Each structure stands twice: as structure tokens, then as C-alpha cells.
Amino acid sequence: MAEKIAAEKKSKGTNGAVKESNGTKSSNGSKESLEYDFHKETVKNHGLTNEEMIHAYKAMLLSRFTDDRIDMLIKQGKATFLISGSGHEAIQVACAMAMEGGKDWFFTYYRDNAIGTALGITPIEIFRHIMGKATDTFTGGRQMPMHLGSKELRMPTASSPTGSQYLQAVGAALSCVYRGTDEVSYVGGGEGSTSEGEFFEAINWAAREKLPTIFCIQNNRFAISVPIEQQTAGGSVYKVVQGFEGIHKFHIDGTDFLESYATAKEAVKLARNGEGPSFIYADVVRLRSHSASDSQDKYRSKEAIEKDTLKDPIAKLEKELVKREIMTAEEIAATRKELNDLVIKSAEEAYAEPLPDPATVEDNLFCPDSEQTPIKYEASEPSGEPIVMVDAINHALMEEMEKNPMMLVYGEDVQDGKGGVFTATKGLSTKFGVNRCFNSPLAEASILGTAVGAALSGLKPVVEIQFADYIFPAMMQIRDELVMYRYRSNGAFECPVTIRVATGGYIGGGHYHSQNIEAIFAKCPGLYIAYPSNAADAKGLLKTACQLKDPVMFLEHKFLYRQGYAKSPEPNADYYLPFGKAAVKREGNDLTIVAYGAMVEKALKTAREMEKKGHSIEVIDIRTIVPLDTETILTSVKKTGKVIVFHEDTKFMGFGAEIASQIAEAAFEYLDAPVKRVAGLHIHIPFSLESHALPQDSWILKAAEEMLAY
């Protein structure tokens, strides 16, 4: 496919796409960027009207003047932080004007202010955000300054991690193609962020699939104080990206507005025509320090800083406007005064507005009940033929894909004929096609990052992480992106990704195929977590996860996939289980055992054994980690007066500690014995000594005997 793209480009005599053959060095020896055929001005202003040229100039000025004003506000104690885009404005405005706000997708980074002003974001909106006001339409005062966002413009609220936006933009582009549109996905970043592995994963996925993504790398040569020579081999990521086939590559002067616009226009045309992604490497200048907390004169010479001011994109565009007789010097001066006055007035108005109400601090962590998918829970009793857990999961996916054409399933090895390493996705790609169930690269961050972008743009990704032990390359996308989107955008953006994860031990998997991760991810506010113990619960909870408008981590214990005792009568296609509702698996009066996952059966075995000795044990299967049904737990503990919290993960810092703590806080006066925990050892799970590291039947039996004798 990549060879075909290259051949097509060559035959069309294009512009440096895929190969550099049509990109030539400028006659100006000081310019490192290349010149392309489409840079030749065959129509005036590359098709922009005089009014549009003036709009570009005003958008650049508004971005610059807001930077200037924020700097002054910091000195006055009215603002706290600034990351400036001064020097980046030309390429940003060019990209915005080549695309369509409200149609295309914009994954910006914290210097992309001029993208916003070009698309119509106003100074007062920026100042409300800078000052953390309740009227902040980007984040509701929840994020620190310089993180733009707009539902109307299809600009997902930006975040601080460098490089996490690239895979999301690719996921949105995947969505654009799947939905049959000609939408384009823009993603911006500084050259320092390309040191992150996720950047190359994103380039690879976009190039491999010919997705309509435009990567705009704004090279100001510094990642805070670290020069590009210490970041990238050869001092240029443009050179590094040459090895990727199937992506158009352009190296331009990002301080030249018309050159930038011509390039962005070409990239958008290629993307809309289905000709694949583009990589725009735009040389820019950083006219301010990295942020208000930085002082670049500590690591840059005065001469170098002054040299950059000679490339100021606003000054260059002003000269061009006069040269082209679009504006006079007097009109430029009047425009500067008009916009500066507007910026000052906007800052004053924003400062007078209220801060967020403290009562709203927990709002929009999850989808409000009034906006959640209406689901009729437990409408029937499971009454079908007995089914093992892995097949119940497979049937749940089948049924939900039937109901929702926007649901995609992907991950490593999920496609037929493998159908997943545990066969959980068997038959899906055969039935629904490889555009709905497909293999991903062996890259967990890629799986989650693209899923985030796809979910933001209207799809329902249900992705698979093959083993819990290998989820951690995706930690940034889960912890800092997926679970934060609704909260950090103050409810503007939802990100309903379901992550299926094979977890747990007892299969002789050693260190790297046996881990439990629920306690780690329970620390991620905004993430639902399910951990079923049997087939019927697995099907009901997974179907609910596929319907919810929130992120869900669905933990599937590998040891239970085909266990006979985990079999259940199969629920029908309309069976859904609510999250946050525990199951009392066995009633009792003398002792409560709280468990989940593979420990539920062990707890039940102990209860049956102790019944022979005249003891009555209540067993509770919590079923979901988040939300936790504390009401059912506390009701049982208040009845029995004694409780064991039983789980497979390590006892130290395991999720059982949270359960035990809540019991101690809320039911201390009802306890007739200290809360006891039975769990795995705080070690890495050994291959040969697994039975000495993970909880055994004898462990919970002994603990129950001790508690009953207390």
C-alpha cells in the first residue's frame, strides 16, 4: 500500500509527499526548510481574499496581545501562569484557516492559542480560562491556564502531558474514515514532544492506515531549556520521519504565513481526498521563555534571542500586507490599537466574574444520571443453557455490536482466525467485518490513545489488553487522558471507552501473566471497574459497560474463563447488570467474607466447610470495584459482627485495604473482632512457587476458623 501511494504521488508530480524529490532547498542559505511546487502563488494569496488575510492578521494579533496581557496580569497578581505561543502564530492560524471549525477535529497543545483565535475563540473566553473563572467554557476553572477546548469547534480540551495528543488525533481520524466523512484531524505539538514514543506510534498507525491526520510539529528548537540537538538524532525529527512510508512530509518556514497556509491547504486537500496523513515540520521561533516560571536568558544568549525577534511572524505578515496593498501602515496601527483595547477590556471584564462554586467540585466526574444511557437492569433471570465465562463475554460483545453500529472492537490478536488468545473475540470480525473488529499493533498506548480519540469523535471503542501485566505503557492515556476528559472539560466531552483486560493468576503464568491491577486503577477518578466471578455476571456487566457513557475497565480473570464452577445459565440479549450492586452469594449470621473475582468460589467453599461445623458464613461478591457497594457490605457486617476481606492481589496496598478501612470507619461499633484481610503476598508472583504466593483454600479456611473462635 505504501509503495502504491509513493507511485501515485510521483506520477502526479506532487509536492514532496512521501519523497523529498520535489522539495528543494531555498536559495537563502540560512533557511533550513524546503520549497515545494505548491508554494508558487498561482492565485493571489493562495486563494485567500483580502478580508481573509486581514482575519489571519487579527487572529495572530489577538493571540499575541493576550500573551502580553497575561504577562502583565501575572505581575499584578491577577493571573498565575502563561505558556506563550508568541512566534508560533503563523503556522497555527494557517492550519486553522485551511480547515473547518465544527467539522474537522483539533487536538491542540498548550501553545496553540492562535488556532483558537483563528477559529473564533474570543479574548474574554481565554481570560476566563486563565483566571479560572466559573464562566471558563474550556474547563470550568478545573485546568491550569493554556488548555483550550470547545465542543462546538470539535476541539477536545487540551492537557499538559507532552505528546499524549498524537494518538488521540489518529483515533479521531480513524473515526472520520469509519463514519464515511471527509473530516480531517489536526494535531499540534512542539518538537520536544516528538521524543515521546507515542509520537512515533501515532505516525506509524496513521501512515499504515492512510488516515486523514495532519501532524503539525512546531519547531522552536527548545524543550524548555533542552536544545533540539540533545533531543533528536540529527537535530531534526523531520529527518527521522523520512523512514515512514505512506505519509506526506513537509519542512517549511512556520513564521511565513502564506507559506504555512499553502502547506496546510495542500495537507488538508490530500487528507480529504483519502490520500493519507501529512507531517508538517514548521520552523518557528520562541519569542518568550517557555512559561511564566522560566527565564530563557539563563540558557540562551542575548544575541540568539534577538536573532529570533527578526523572524517575528506578525512583523513579517504586516510587511506582506502593506506590500500587497491589503492594509496601509495606518490601518495596521489602528488595528493594533483596536485589538489591544479589546484585550485589555476583556481581561477587566473576566476578572470581575465569579470563581467556581465549591459545591460543584465533584460534578462531571462521571456522566450525570439524567444524561446516562437509559438501561432496564435485571429485566429477566438468567435461564439459558449453562455457559462458560469466556463464551458469555463473546456473546455479550456479539449482542452489543448488533445493537450499536458505532461500536468497534480491537486489540492484539482479536481478529479471526485467532479470535483473541483466549477466544473471547472469536467470530466477531467474520460477522461484522474487519472495519469493526480488527488487530492493532502490539502497542498498548496505541490501543488506548486511539480509542480515546475515537470515543471523543462519536464511536464506542471496546478494546482488549491481552494481559493486565502489559497495560502499563497505556498508563498515561488511561490516567491522564481517558478518565480526565469529562472532568477537565467540565462535562463538555465524554470518553466512553471500555477496556477489557485479562487478569489474575493460578495459571502458572509467573511474573508477567499473573498480575492483578484493580487497586492501581481504582486510584483513577472517573473510571468504572468491574471484576465478575461468573459467566452470567460477566455477560450482564460487560453489556452494561458497552452502553455506559463513561470509561470502564472490565477485568476478566483468566483462570475463570472455562472453570466449571464459574459457569452460569446464560442471560438473554436484554440482560444488564448495574454497576455498584454487590451480590449476596450465601447468607449467614456468624461471619462475613467480602470477596471478588476468583476468590468468591474459595470463600463459598470455606462457607460450606464451616457449615459442617455449625457455623453460618455470609459471602458477598462485590462484582464491581468502582462503584463499591458499601451499603451491602456494611449491612452484612452489622449483622454478623465479624468480617474477612478476601482478595487475590497483594495484601499490602491491595483494594481490600480500602474495603477494610470503610468498614472500620462506618461500622466499628458493630464489630466483635478486628477486620481481617486475607490476600496475596507482597511479592512478584513466582512461576514454581505460585501456590505459596497466591491465596489458597487453606488460607481462607484458617482465617475463618480464627475469626469464628475470636
| 8-state DSSP, 101 | B
Q: What is the largest CA-CA distance in the chain?
A: 99
3-state DSSP assignment of residue 452? helix
| SS3 assignment, position 615 | coil
d(CA 524, CA 577): 22
Q: Is the peptide bond before 77 cis (omega within 30 degrees of 0)?
A: no
CA distance 450 to 168: 5
Question: SS3 string of 117-159?
Answer: HHHCCCHHHHHHHHCCCCCCCCCCCCCCCCCCCECCCCECCCC
Instruction: Give the Cα separation of 147 and 109 in Å (integer).
Output: 7
Residue 153: which region, alpha, beta or left (left: phi > 0; alpha: psi -120 to 50)?
A: alpha
Helix (H, G, I), strand (E, B) or coil at 363: coil
Residue 547 to residue 54: CA distance in whole angstroms: 47
Rounded to whole angstroms, what are the CA distances from 137 to 114, 154, 490?
A: 17, 13, 8
b/e map 450-487, b = 16+ CB within 10 Å: bbbbbbbbebbbbbbbbbbbbbebbebbbbebbbbbbb
Active-site entry in 88, 147, 513, 615: 513
Of the candidates 295, 259, 255, 227, which has an alpha carbon nearest to the alpha carbon of residue 88?
255
Which H or E run contains 106?
A: strand 105-107
Can you say whether residue 411 is alpha, beta or left, with left for phi > 0 and alpha for psi between -120 and 50 degrees? left
Active-site residue flag, 39: no
Cβ proximity of 190 and 217 under 8 Å: yes
What CA–CA distance (Å, rounded) separates 53 from 45? Answer: 8
Measured distance CA(263)–CA(221) in Å, rounded: 21
Residue keyed to cell 466559573: 134
Mind telling me the catalytic residues?
A: 513
